Structure 1
Amino acid sequence: MFNSQRPSLDDLPTANQLAKATVLSLTAAAAILVAMVLPAEYAIDPTGVGRTLGFTQMGELKAQLAEEVEADAALRPRTVTTLGAPALPATTPVASASRNDVTKLTLAPGEGAEVKVSAGKGARVRFAWEVAGGRVNYDTHGDPISAPKGFYHGYGKGKQSAGEQGELVAAFDGKHGWFWRNRSDQPVTVTLRTGGQYSEVRRLV
């Protein structure tokens, strides 16, 4: 049987040493909170270290995109419409058809705009958009039919982009698309090209 030797009292840390170690740990945790966590999560940077390390910019981006998502959500309509047809009830599924469209819009400084396609669950929509004259912040998201207040489903978002492309796969029946905001001091033009299984493309904001 293995018998371990009990440590002597001289080998154990004293109460004073334990108190010092606790103070050092709390100080380190507070420093990390102030220099990294607060700047990165909330853009709060009382020391300026977070901006130097790039964490404050991350927090500012999160806050800005959150504000734009909230502003966008407040303006979203709750019905689905098809080109050349009256508004459909909120419980009507969205029909998907293969098509191609080009949508162009100009944004003044600080202006935002939203374009969405109506598509059924699983529909694949190819997209490519580009910005002439500057860069924009964007948020790609969708709204299901009869979406509850405050609902948000994101496909991707970013800041200071000159363009993006890819394929959007509809997560549900409803509207899916892009919100852009011009954060520059000059007008910009956004050109969106879409193709695939959707029944309508429309500017909502």
Structure 2
Amino acid sequence: MYNSDMPTRQELPSTAKLIRSTIIAAIVALLLLVTVVMPAEYALDPTGAGRLLGLTEMGEIKQQLAEEAAADAAAQMVPVQPYTEVSRPEPVEPVTETAAAPAPAPAPAAEAKPEEPAPAPVSETEWQDEVRFVLTPGQGTEFKLTMNEGDIARFSWVSEGGPINFDTHGDGGGQSISYEKGRGVPEDEGELKAAFTGNHGWFFRNRNSNDVTVVLRTSGDHGELKKML
């Protein structure tokens, strides 16, 4: 019974064509891995294309969430140490004090020196920028400063309603850096020195069961304070 025409040997692709097609497919897959998959999944961007496409920032957030989940799981696995009763020392018999020798006569008071005026109070830091925002349970957000390499910015933030997780980091020009991370921190302050020209700031996440309000203040050598997420 006739179903279809069988291809002739001439119509079948040659070995050279199959090898060429395989090599082209491998090159395309490698380019997609380097420019799309690695930045979006692992925050690795060797070509800088992921940063231009906005994929590297997505990968950084995924890595941050994975680290927080692993830390939460590790915290739940820490065994509770059993209570050990501490023996109390035997009571010591009180020692009878001997009569104290009479105190020597006080020396004549020296001539009183005039009091020096108290130093003028130091004024508090004058902040250039201040933002206040609310994070619902599980919510995260990011604020960054535009800074040149070597710039130093003063900062202070406080969480009202419970401690939060944070990641102080920077990115720009195909580079990225993590300065400091913290879990369950109620407040922080200090100086942020830019390792390179780009955006440098903080990612905050609320792991409490209630809303928290975060107040962030900055001053010093920096440009715009902007919300990234």
1:168 & 1:143 partners in 2: Cα distance?
14
Q: Deviations over 1:102-131 (max 9, x none)?
A: 011110000001000000000000000001
Q: Are 1:174 and 2:174 counterparts? A: no
User: Secondary structure of 2:174's partner?
Assistant: coil
Q: What corresponds to 1:132 in structure 2? A: 160
Paired AA for residue 183 in structure 2 = K
Q: How does 1:125-204 map to 2 (within 5 A)?
A: 125-147=153-175, 152-204=176-228
Q: Percent identity among equivalent residues?
A: 40
Q: TM-score, normalised by structure 1?
A: 0.51
> Could you tell me which of 93, 97, 103 is aligned with 2:131?
103
| CA-CA distance at 1:198 after TM superposition | 1.0
1:165 & 1:44 partners in 2: Cα distance?
26
| Alpha-carbon spacing, 1:186–1:118, altered in 2? closer, same or farther (3 Å) | same
Q: Deviations over 1:48-103 (max 9, x none)?
A: 6x5347xxxxxxxxxxxxxxxxxxxxxxxxxxxxxxxxxxxxxxxxxxxxx81001
Paired AA for residue 184 in structure 2 = Q
> Could you tell me which of 140, 151, 162 is aligned with 1:112?
140
| CA-CA distance at 1:163 after TM superposition | 0.5
2:217 & 2:136 partners in 1: Cα distance?
21
Q: How does 1:46-125 map to 2 (within 5 A)?
A: 50-52=78-80, 100-125=128-153
| Alpha-carbon spacing, 1:181–1:44, altered in 2? closer, same or farther (3 Å) | closer
Paired AA for residue 185 in structure 1 = S
Cα RMSD, aligned residues only: 2.4
User: Secondary structure of 1:184's partner?
Assistant: coil
Structure 2: gaps (5+ residues): 1-69, 82-126
Q: TM-score, normalised by structure 2?
A: 0.46
2:172 & 2:201 partners in 1: Cα distance?
12
Q: What corresponds to 1:43 in structure 2? A: 74
2:226 & 2:146 partners in 1: Cα distance?
9
User: Secondary structure of 1:178's partner?
Assistant: strand
| Alpha-carbon spacing, 1:124–1:182, altered in 2? closer, same or farther (3 Å) | same
Structure 1: gaps (5+ residues): 1-38, 54-98
| Alpha-carbon spacing, 1:135–1:44, altered in 2? closer, same or farther (3 Å) | closer
Paired AA for residue 186 in structure 1 = N
2:139 & 2:203 partners in 1: Cα distance?
11
2:132 & 2:75 partners in 1: Cα distance?
38
Aligned residues: 114
Paired AA for residue 159 in structure 1 = R
Paired AA for residue 165 in structure 2 = N
1:118 & 1:125 partners in 2: Cα distance?
10
User: Secondary structure of 2:128's partner?
Assistant: strand
Q: Deviations over 1:112-170 (max 9, x none)?
A: 010000000000000000011111001100002234xxxx4111111111110000000
